[in-house]
Amino acid sequence: MYVVDKEKARAALPKSVVQDFDDIVTQKVLGASTHIKMIGNMIEQIALEYKTNGNIEEMIQRIDEVCNFFIATRGEASQAITNAIYQMIKGIHRHTNHEQSSEVVQAIIDVKDSYAKSNKKAIDQAVSYAVEIGNRMQNILVYDYSSTVEAFLRGLQAGKTIYIAESRVINGGKPFVKPCIEAGHQIHFIPDASLMYYMKECDGAFMGAESIYPDGTGFNTTGSDIVGLICDYYKKPLYFISPLIKLDVRPVYGKEKTIVINDLKDKLQDVADPDNHKDIDYYTPELLGVCPEHIKGFITEKGVIPSIQLYDTAMQYIKELRGEEDV
C-alpha cells in the first residue's frame, strides 16, 4: 500500500515543475482537467532528464513516486485524475535499462501526448454540445471552477448574464470572472449564501464534475449539492459538463467513495478567530455528490445524457477504456 509522502514526491520532480506541484497541493490552481495537464507535464519533464541518461529504472521510480502521490491524494477525491494518470503512463513498466534511453523517453512522452489529444477532443465535443444549450439561455449560473466550464463560457454568444457564485471553500468562482469579461458577458458575482435568491433569475445552471457515478450522481466542490437542491426546487435545469474520463465505477462493485475532509483554517481563521483559540476546528468536505434526480443531464463527448440514463453508457465507456471484454 502506498504511504503518502509529499516531500518525497516533490523531491522527485525537476525544479521547473515544483511550482506546479505546490499549486495543486495548495489548491492555488483548480480543476481536475487542469491538474491532469500539469501532472502530464511533470511526467514529461522527469522523462526528459533521462534522454541521454541510461538509468531508465530510476526515471520510472521518480515518475511512479509523483503519480502515486497524486492518485492517493487528488485521485481519492477525483477518479478522473486516477483514470488519466493510468492512461498517461500506460506501458511504462515494460521499459528497462537495456533499451536506448532516448527511444524510451520519446515513447513515454508519446503515450502521455496521446492521452492529452484524445481528452482534448472529448472536451471540445462536450463543450460544443453545452454551447448549443447555453445559447438558448440568457441568464446562466455557474458554480465552482472547471476549465471545461470556462471553455463553455468563452464559446457562448456574447451578451449573456452570467451569475458566478463564490464557492467559499476554495474561492472557486473567482477564476470564471476574467474569461466572462473577455467573452463579453455581463457578470453578477454573488456570495454562495445568496444562491436561493438569485436562482429565480436564471434559465439554468452549469458546473464541471470531479467525479461521476454510473447511477447519475455528480460530485463537485462542497456547495454543489445546494445548487442541485435549489435547481430542483425552482425546476431549473442543472447540467454537468464533463468528459467521461471522470467516471468512477467503484460503487458498482460495492466500494464507497472516501469523502476528503479539508482544513480551511488558513481561509477562515482571520474571520472567525483572529486571536487563535485552540479549540476551534475548520474542517469541511472537499467534494459532495449531487443526486441524479437534481441533474438534468451530463453533457459529454457522447452527447447530452439524462442522469437517470447514464449507466449503460458509463459501463460501455469503462469497458472500452480498459480494453476489456467485460467490466
Cell numbers linked to 199: 436562482
262, 169 contact by CB (below 8 A)? yes
* pTM for the model: 0.80
Residue 156's pLDDT is 98
Q: Which amino acid is at 85?
A: I
What average pLDDT does the segment 113-117 reach?
Answer: 92
pLDDT-derived band at 323 (thresholds 50, 70, 90) equals: low
**Domain 126-322 falls under CATH 3.40.50.10470:** yes
Q: Are 261 and 287 in contact (CB under 8 A)?
A: no
Cβ partners under 8 Å of residue 174, min gap 6: 145, 166
Could you report the per-residue pLDDT of 236-295, keeping only the tens digit for each? 999 999 999 999 988 999 987 778 888 888 888 888 888 888 789 989 998 899 999 999
Tell me which of 202 and 168 has the higher pLDDT: 202
Taking only the tens place, the pLDDT of each residue in 166-177 is: 887 777 888 999
Q: CB under 8 Å, gap of 24 or more: what pairs does 259-268 form?
A: 259/285, 259/286, 259/287, 259/288, 260/76, 260/77, 260/285, 260/286, 260/287, 261/285, 261/286, 262/169, 262/286, 264/169, 267/168, 267/169, 267/171
Given pLDDT bands bounded at 50, 70 and 90, which one contains residue 327?
very low
Q: What is the pLDDT of residue 1?
A: 60
**pLDDT class of 320 with cuts at 50, 70, 90:** confident
Percent of the chain beyond pLDDT 70? Answer: 98
Sequence ranges of the domains in the chain: 6-122, 126-322
For cell 469541511, the residue is 284
- 121 grid coordinates: 477532443
Please give the single-letter amino acid code of residue 141: L
